[in-house]
Each structure stands twice: as structure tokens, then as C-alpha cells.
Structure 1
Amino acid sequence: MTKTTRQTVRINGVRTVLTTRNGKVTTRPADPKEWELQAAQVQALRALPEYGRLFLLAGDQNSAKRGPRAQVEATAAGMTPGEADMRIYLTGARIRMFENKVGNGKLSPAQVSRHAALAKIGHTVEVVRATTKAEAASKAVALVRGWLADNDNENNSTKAA
């Protein structure tokens, strides 16, 4: 019988997955944590020349580990399970949102429910999938630049009418 075990450890400060199978140990870099992807996105988005003029951002970490008391306090204060990770505020009173997932990570039941509820009132939540911080930042920049172009087109058509 083949027994396989996996654990994530730090080797020289780097998160690494150790896999043991039939007595043989292999290593590979661990996927980044979702918050690390989000932090890379925030840094890249804030560096754009449009930041502060054409858009602002706000991030959430609703799935952060909390004790029972902290969870009650967060919920009472309005934290909503399943809320999107990032909100992008565009000129013209428009808001766009995206959710980060590492690789093929699945949406939680709370995220599926919340995203469906937001869609019912006209707010789509895009899912950004990435396996590196650079990929996450690049995808977020491309998404926001696309939204800015769409927003600019909508504003120009409104002015022409």
C-alpha cells in the first residue's frame, strides 16, 4: 500500500510543500496565500498613474481567521461572509469587484451565495485565478484597465447624447 503525506513548511524562509511517498521525500514551492496575491495586486494598482484620479480601491479579508468573539464583532459591524476581495471605485459612481483564488481554488458556499445576490442587483464579481504574485498583479491591472476603458467609453457616449 502506498502512503503519501504532504505538509507545508518553511525552508530558508520560503513556504515549501514536502511530499513523502514510499519513503521518498520531494519538495516544491508552495502556492502563495490568497492575501499575498491581493497585496501584490494592491501594490500594482496603486502604482498606476490612473490611481486616485480615475479609480480607488478597497480590499476585504472576510475569511481571515478570527476567534468567536472577534467573529461576532465583525459580523455585527457589517462584515459579510462571501464579500468580494477587492472593490474598485470608478468615476461616474461605478463600482467593480473581483475575488481572488489561488490556482483552481473553489469559491466557498458563502461566496457563491453572496456573488449571486450581488449579480441580482447588477454587480458582477469577477474571479481572478493566479498561481504567482506577478500573475495576480498583471491580471488585476488588465482587469482594471479594461474597466477604465469601458467607463471612459460610457462617459463619452453619455456626453455625446
Structure 2
Amino acid sequence: MAKIPTKQTVRINGARTIIRTSASGKIMTKPAPPMEWELQAAQVRALRAMPTYGKQFLLAGDQNAAKRGSRAQQEAIAAVMTPGEADLRIYLAGGQIRMIENKVGKRRLSTAQKDRHAALCKLGHQVAGVSAITPADAASQAVSLVQGWLSVA
């Protein structure tokens, strides 16, 4: 009788690790990619460390994809938590808002994100995508984006 292949993500010595078991019973492990919130947290740290933070720009973030219980989900909806909202909002001097949407690796935008980002763009708000596989790469891309936005502001 053939076994069913399995895949699970666990913590081994504090590190997220993917364990795969093949139909033949072979066990393979590899480091799991970071969670999207880890990319965002690295970006926030890097952006707040910029000398222009608080002088030429501020930021705010969302975590619409966070897992919630039914009550917390109802509260979020009642408080206008909007599906598809970008992960980071960058408030530039002169009343401009730019946004950053994070994806780990080759993950794609959800339908809600595509719709929301298109609606924001129709109103003149730019949403930039960052695809990264490490928090350091995500932070570097966010800093480059903000530096570019500041140079044309």
C-alpha cells in the first residue's frame, strides 16, 4: 500500500522548517520561507532608521491577513478593515500617499488585493509590489522605493 506524501511546517531549534515525506517514505527538510509579517517588520525597522523618517515621510501598516477568531474578525470588519489593503502606507510631504504590498517569493495577489489596488490607482495612489524571500531583501527594496519617491516629491 502506497503512502500519501505529506508536507508540514514546524519549528526546529526555533527555525521554521518544512518537512516533506514522499510516498516512498523518504523524509526531506528545508528552511521555510519567512512569513509576510516578517518582511513587513524588517521594512518598518529599516524605514524608521532612515534620517528622513519623521521629516519627509511617515508610515503606517496593516495586517489584513492576520488570523482572527470569529469575534475579532467581526470587530475588524466593523472597524472598516478592508480586504486587499496594501501592507504599508507611506505618507510623503505635500499630501502624497504611496503604498507597498509584500509577497513572499512568487506568491500572487489575491482577487481582493487586485481589486483594491486597482481602485486606489484609479484615485491616483501608487501601490508598489515587493517580492522577497528574505526580510533583508524586503527592507532593502522598501528603502529604495521610499528614496525614489522622496527624490521626485
Alignment TM-score, normalising by the size of structure 2: 0.94
Aligned CA RMSD, in angstroms, stands at 1.2
What is the Cα deviation at residue 2 of structure 1?
A: 7.9
Moved over 6 A (4+): none
How many equivalent residue pairs? Answer: 151
Which residue pairs with 1:56 in the alignment?
A: 58
Residues 55-97 of structure 1, C-alpha deviation per residue, up to 9 Å, x if partnerless? Answer: 0000000111112222221111121111000000000111100
Q: Any idea what SS the aligned residue of 2:91 has?
A: strand
> For structure 1, which runs of at least 5 residues remain unmatched after alignment?
152-161
The structure richer in helix per residue is: 1
**Aligned amino acid, residue 19 of structure 1:** R
Which residue pairs with 2:101 in the alignment?
A: 99
What is the Cα deviation at residue 42 of structure 1?
A: 0.3
Q: Percent identity?
A: 66
Match runs of 1:26-105 below 5 Å: 26-105=28-107
Q: Distance in 2 between matches of 1:2 and 1:49?
A: 57
Q: Any idea what SS the aligned residue of 1:144 has?
A: helix
What is the Cα deviation at residue 4 of structure 1?
A: 2.8
What is the Cα deviation at residue 3 of structure 1?
A: 4.5
Alignment match of 1:133 (pick from 123, 132, 135) = 135
What is the Cα deviation at residue 114 of structure 1?
A: 0.6
> For structure 2, which runs of at least 5 residues remain unmatched after alignment?
none
What is the Cα deviation at residue 131 of structure 1?
A: 0.3
